[in-house]
Amino acid sequence: MITIPAKPYGYELPLTGVALIIIDMQRDFLEPGGFGDALGNDVNRLQAIVPTLKQLLEAFRQYRLPIFHTIECHQHDLADCPPAKLNRGKAALKIGDPGPMGRILIKGEPGNGIISELAPVLGETIIYKPGKGAFYNTNLATHLQERGITHLLITGVTTEVCVQTTMREANDRGYECLLIEDCTESYFPEFKQATLEMVCAQGGIVGWTAPAAAVLQGLAETGWDTPKAALDLVNTPVG
């Protein structure tokens, strides 16, 4: 167990039960011509978190800790996209329409993939999700239960939409959630700030927030000098 300095108070992290959750770091949200752009957003401002998130991802890889990437997407026939989502807004390009990176928000299209800097590697789990929350209509909960995961470090985009929805879903399912402040971003800075404040208000009503450096420091203080040491700990049977 390590304690990460966090808001509203120290986050107790058992290293046998933690996973890194990376929400929707897709070209559809971070690059021109995708879904985020079609909704009228300045997508470039989401790029700022990529180097820090990459650092956290590499630390989890080094210590052989579980990593989950989510992808917001829909089937080719849009059977999993409710009309309420399909028809919302007045965007020029809707979900399923052909865009410069392929069909907007459709699974397998070039624009729907995770950005190259954070591309998943073998052993990491990809959760394809049709909603904003990563638990809705996915097998994420089953994966977490099977691996004895109780604590989620939550990152990705956008802070007040898919990230916050997922954190609230997780909180109601009994997970202890830490939102990584400099590994999440929004098209609206004021919405990001409000989200960071609201999740840890009221004594941590939804969870905790901390910068990535606090987690990296906590991992460094485990004294693990090799990935092997981390692997031994992770492989220790839980309970």
- In the set 73, 162, 183, 200, the catalytic residue is 162
User: Does 128 interact with ligand TIU (rule: CB under 6 A)?
Assistant: no
Residue 143, CA distances (Å) to 68, 110, 128, 194 in order: 10, 26, 13, 31
| Tokens matching residue 114 | 């995770």
Rounded distance between C-alpha atoms, residue 216 and residue 60, angstroms:
9
Cβ of residue 36: shortest distance to ligand TIU, in angstroms? 6
Helix-then-strand count for the chain, H and E? 9, 10
Rounded distance between C-alpha atoms, residue 194 and residue 188, angstroms:
10
Residue 203 burial class via C-beta count within 10 angstroms: exposed 0-12, middle 13-18, buried 19 and up: exposed
User: Does 52 interact with ligand TIU (rule: CB under 6 A)?
Assistant: no
H-state helical runs in 20-163 = 27-30, 35-38, 50-62, 83-86, 140-146
- Amino acid making up residue 120: P
**Closest chain position to ligand TIU (CB):** 162
- In the set 24, 81, 177, 192, the catalytic residue is 24
Task: Compose the 154-193 pattern: x for residues touching ligand TIU by CB under 6 A, - for all others.
Answer: ---xx--xx------------------------x------
Strand, helix or coil for residue 98:
strand
Q: Does the annotation mark 162 as catalytic?
A: yes
User: Does 24 interact with ligand TIU (rule: CB under 6 A)?
Assistant: yes
Cβ of residue 14: shortest distance to ligand TIU, in angstroms? 28
Task: Compose the 204-233 pattern: x for residues touching ligand TIU by CB under 6 A, - for all others.
Answer: ------------------------------
- Amino acid making up residue 105: L
Q: Does the annotation mark 24 as catalytic?
A: yes
Site size toward ligand TIU, by CB under 6 A: 11
User: Does 73 interact with ligand TIU (rule: CB under 6 A)?
Assistant: no
Rounded distance between C-alpha atoms, residue 57 and residue 66, angstroms:
10
Query: Which H or E element spans position 22?
Result: strand 18-23
User: Does 16 interact with ligand TIU (rule: CB under 6 A)?
Assistant: no
Cβ of residue 24: shortest distance to ligand TIU, in angstroms? 4
Task: Compose the 131-150 pattern: x for residues touching ligand TIU by CB under 6 A, - for all others.
Answer: -x------------------
User: Is 166 in contact with 173 (CB distance < 8 Å)?
Assistant: no
Q: Does the annotation mark 77 as catalytic?
A: no
Site for ligand TIU (CB under 6 A): which residue of 72, 109, 169, 181? 72
- Please list the active-site residues: 24, 129, 162
Q: Give the footprint of ligand TIU on this chain (CB under 6 A).
A: 24, 29, 36, 39, 72, 132, 157-158, 161-162, 187
